[in-house]
Every structure is written in C-alpha cells, then in structure tokens.
C-alpha cells in the first residue's frame, strides 16, 4: 500500500438511486468486505421489516440511526485498493439536510462518481431543477472536483436494455455539460449495484456495452500535483491546551510545507511565532506538507490569538484576510429568492462566519459563463451570479484561482445550504 498513490473518491447522487448499495456490493466483490458481514446485514435488514434490500447499503451506512431510517447521514469512510491506487471512499449523503457534509467532503475529493438510475422517471427526478444529482454535479464542479464517472445503476430493473442506458446517458451528458464537465472525458458505465454487473467483473448481461467496468475506470483517474510549492496555508480545525505542552492547534496543511523552527504568523490576529514541533497520531514529524493532517506546538502564540477558522502562514507571504470579496455563487436551495442585504452563514475551510451579500453584480449563464443580466434585483434557485460578500468580521480566505483549497465556500441558512461559491477577488483586505 505504501507505494501506491492515494486518492479521495466521493460517491454522489439522488437519494434512492442506489449509491450505497452500488458501493457496498463493489467493496464485497473487491474482497474488502466479506460475504459474512453482508449476510449479517441481510439478517438485520429483514428484522427491521425492510427485507434484505439494504444488505449492501449497510456496508456504507454503519451508523445505527441511519439503518433505522434507511438513509445515509454522515460521511462514511471506507478504504480500498485497486491495482494502481489506494482509495478513501467518501459516501456523500443524498439528503438535503446533509449537504453541508457533502461540501466539506467534496472539498477534499480528488474525483467523484455520480450514480444515476436507469429506471423510468428516476433520473428525471434526480436531474430536474432541485434534484440532488443536479445539485451534486454543480457542487462538485464548483468545488473543484475535476474528474467524474457516471454510473448508470439499476440496469437489472430495466432488463439490461441498451435503450434505457442510452436514454440516461443522453440526459446525464446534458447535465455534465451544463455544469462545465467535458462530456467526452466522462465515462458512463451501465451497472447493477444489486446484482453486481460491471462493478468489478465485466457483466455477461450487456454484450452491447464495450466499455470498462467501474474498477477499471477507477484506475484511469489521474493524480493531481500536490500544491507543496505554494506558500504555506494551514486552516485551524481545533485548538487544544495540553498540560506541560501548551497551545496545540490541529489542522490540515492545504498548501506549502512546514517544519519545526519555521517562523509563522496566525491570521487574522497577526500574531507571530514559530513552530516548536509537529505531530500526527502521536508521532513526531520532521516536517509536514500539503495534504497532511497534523497537530503542532507553537512558540510565542497565546491561546487567545488562535482559534478555529484562523489560518497559519509565513510572515513573508501571510494568508489574505478579507473584509469584502467578489465571488461567483450558485443558488442551490431557497424557498423564494434572495436579495442584496441577505446575511446567511459562510462556511469556508474551517471558518464559519455570518456574511452579508452586499450587491449582485451580474447573473451568469452556468453553461457558457456569459453574463445574462447586469445587476439583477434578486436570485432564485439555479441562478449563478457574481456578487460581493462582506463577512461580519474579517475572515482569512484566498482567491480560488490561486488557492482552490482556500477559495471555496458554502452559504447556509435555516439548516440548509443556500449557495456554493468560489472567491474571485478580494476587494477589501484587512491588515492587522
């Protein structure tokens, strides 16, 4: 395993299109989960009165509450290996309440599968305005997930007919194109998550399909270069006070690298200090780089100068802190429409801060990127727009172009994600 490159793969799709079943069966066929576990799930599933229909899904949904409700709640993590890569599989909930997880999950993903259904009408629902497949495709693209596979599931329910597959491919191609994926780079694989067709082994039921299995497509993914040569950015997840050690922040190095002895600065407070030591899972590290989740002990930084949502960088290229910024957002969910002055909560890397959308500059055609309307009065679900946003307190963020990891955000209100966006430019910077 050590010599294989690692990829994070996120599984998305509308509720009931069979994401969890497909991935559960895939993991069993790959030998990651044994049949005994699956049989056990089948027994438990029958006890809850759901028959054995959830036996594969439960490999992913291993939280008791989820089983009783029969839906995926939190992000479930599973590890597996293919001939070429070592994967962490992130099963993203299809349910709207859980889309915030999807956003924090998608921001970590290198590649994604979108599961659609070949059953009459199910894909229409999933990709209609307000459907979760449409929403997930938009989010994945906006949040910088460049590589996508579409699995056309439930082929067993349509007698493995090529027409059913083609009908979904046509609709799915339009969807992928409308959010900005290059369709000829997206494989569309006809599968059955329930029966196991084209997951690990080539299906004997679809002689008309000449393409690759799901497993083979996974090995076609490319590994992106890690941004280790960029300036250091470490968003702080938590800060612990450890007796005899002092202040220990924890976070993921998004860009750059660091080692003990390096001078650092914490934004937005501007407090300066140096790195005393770095550790991961109680092991001392000689250095850390982009992609590493670490804890570190800082010299010269007091507990009051650092909190969740702050960002660590170097004094010569400190993290940017915005009082106001320009962004492109996509409205995902709102009962009516939003107008300038609207103040939801912005979630960006580990920061959460109330933020006012002060002005709408232009409505953008999501498919072409062209301006549809200057200074629109309001925005509704499905609209994409360039807006100005002012967080209630200065917040460390970066432009998406320079630091994709630090330049994407979600706007949430009333327990739902209202919009997802990327930072275009910082229009007013805060200098501590």
pLDDT band at 97, cuts 50/70/90?
very low
Q: What is the DSSP string of 153-170?
A: E-GGGGTT-HHHHHHHHH
What the block records as the tokens of 76 is 């479930």
Is residue 192 domain-shared with residue 58, that is, in the same domain? yes
Is residue 293 domain-shared with residue 404, that is, in the same domain? no
Q: Which domain holds residue 255?
A: 234-313
Residues 6 or more apart in contact with residue 159 via CB below 8 angstroms = none
What domain count does the chain have? Answer: 3
Q: Please state, in angstroms and rounded to a whole number, the distance separating the CA atoms of residues 32 and 59.
A: 10
Is 225 contained in some domain?
no
Q: Please state, in angstroms and rounded to a whole number, the distance separating the CA atoms of residues 73 and 67.
A: 10
pLDDT tens for residues 358-402? 999 999 876 566 788 999 999 998 788 999 999 999 999 999 989
Is 224 contained in some domain?
no
Is residue 158 domain-shared with residue 54, that is, in the same domain? yes
Q: Provide φ and ψ at 13, rounded to 5°.
A: 145, 165
Alpha carbons within 13 A on the beta-carbon side of 25? 22
Is residue 416 domain-shared with residue 392, that is, in the same domain? yes
Among 218, 245, 271, give the residue marking a domain's end: 218
What the block records as the tokens of 283 is 């092991």
Is residue 184 domain-shared with residue 246, that is, in the same domain? no
pLDDT band at 245, cuts 50/70/90?
confident
Radius of gyration of the chain, Cα coordinates, nearest whole angstrom = 23
Is residue 241 domain-shared with residue 340, that is, in the same domain? no
Residues 6 or more apart in contact with residue 244 via CB below 8 angstroms = none
Helix (H, G, I), strand (E, B) or coil at 256: coil
Is residue 344 domain-shared with residue 404, that is, in the same domain? yes
Is 226 contained in some domain?
no
* The pairing of beta strand 188-190 with beta strand 351-364: unpaired
Tokens 């507990």, residue located: 303
Looking at 5-19, 30-44, 120-134, which range is the least confident one? 30-44
For residue 75, what pLDDT is reported?
A: 38
Residue 106: give its domain's CATH number: 3.40.50.300
Is residue 331 domain-shared with residue 361, that is, in the same domain? yes
For residue 3, what pLDDT is reported?
A: 75
Is 147 contained in some domain?
yes
Residue 291: give its domain's CATH number: 2.40.30.10
Q: Which residues are 69's β-sheet partners?
A: none
pLDDT tens for residues 327-362? 998 887 788 999 999 999 998 888 999 999 999 999
Looking at 27-36, 174-183, 292-301, 409-418, which range is the least confident one? 27-36
Is residue 253 domain-shared with residue 342, that is, in the same domain? no
For residue 54, what pLDDT is reported?
A: 54
Is residue 309 domain-shared with residue 325, that is, in the same domain? no
Q: How far does CA 290 lie from the centroid of its chain?
A: 17
């Amino acid at each position: 395993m050590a010599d294989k490159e690692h990829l994070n793969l996120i599984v998305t799709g509308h509720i009931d299109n069979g994401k969890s079943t497909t991935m559960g069966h895939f993991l069993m066929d790959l030998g990651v989960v044994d049949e005994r576990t699956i049989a056990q799930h089948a027994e438990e599933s029958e006890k809850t009165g759901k028959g054995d229909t959830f036996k594969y899904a439960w490999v992913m949904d291993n939280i008791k509450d989820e089983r009783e409700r029969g839906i995926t709640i939190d992000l479930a993590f599973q590890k597996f290996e293919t001939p070429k890569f070592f994967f962490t599989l992130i099963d993203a909930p299809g349910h709207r309440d859980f889309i915030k997880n999807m956003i924090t999950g998608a921001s970590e993903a290198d590649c994604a599968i979108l599961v659609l259904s070949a059953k009459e009408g199910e894909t229409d629902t999933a990709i209609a305005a307000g459907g979760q497949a449409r929403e997930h495709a938009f989010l994945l693209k906006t949040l910088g997930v460049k590589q996508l596979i579409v699995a056309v599931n439930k082929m067993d329910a349509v007698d493995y007919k090529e027409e059913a597959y083609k009908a979904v491919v046509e609709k799915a191609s339009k969807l992928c194109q409308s959010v900005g994926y290059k369709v000829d780079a997206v494989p569309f694989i006809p599968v059955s998550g329930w029966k196991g067709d084209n997951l690990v082994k080539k299906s004997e039921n679809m002689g008309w399909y000449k393409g690759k299995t799901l497993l083979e497509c996974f090995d076609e993914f490319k590994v992106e270069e890690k941004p280790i040569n960029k300036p250091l950015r470490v968003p702080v997840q938590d800060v612990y006070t450890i007796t005899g050690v002092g202040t220990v922040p924890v976070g993921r190095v998004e860009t750059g690298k660091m080692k003990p002895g390096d001078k650092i600065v914490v934004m937005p407070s501007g407090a300066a200090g140096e790195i005393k030591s770095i550790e991961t899972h109680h092991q001392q590290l000689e250095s850390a780089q982009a992609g590493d989740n670490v804890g570190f002990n800082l010299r010269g930084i007091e507990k009051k100068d650092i909190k969740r949502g702050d960002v660590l960088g170097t004094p010569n290229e400190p993290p940017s802190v915005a009082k106001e910024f320009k962004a492109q957002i996509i409205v995902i969910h709102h009962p009516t429409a939003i107008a300038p002055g609207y103040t939801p909560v912005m979630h960006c890397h580990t920061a959460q801060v109330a933020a006012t959308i002060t002005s709408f500059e232009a409505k953008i055609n999501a498919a072409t990127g062209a301006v549809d309307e200057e200074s629109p009065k309001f925005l509704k679900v499905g609209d994409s727009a360039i807006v100005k946003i002012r967080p209630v307190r200065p917040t460390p963020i970066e432009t998406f172009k320079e630091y994709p990891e630090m330049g994407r955000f979600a706007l949430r209100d009333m327990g739902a994600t209202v919009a997802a966006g990327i930072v275009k430019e910082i229009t007013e910077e805060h200098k501590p």
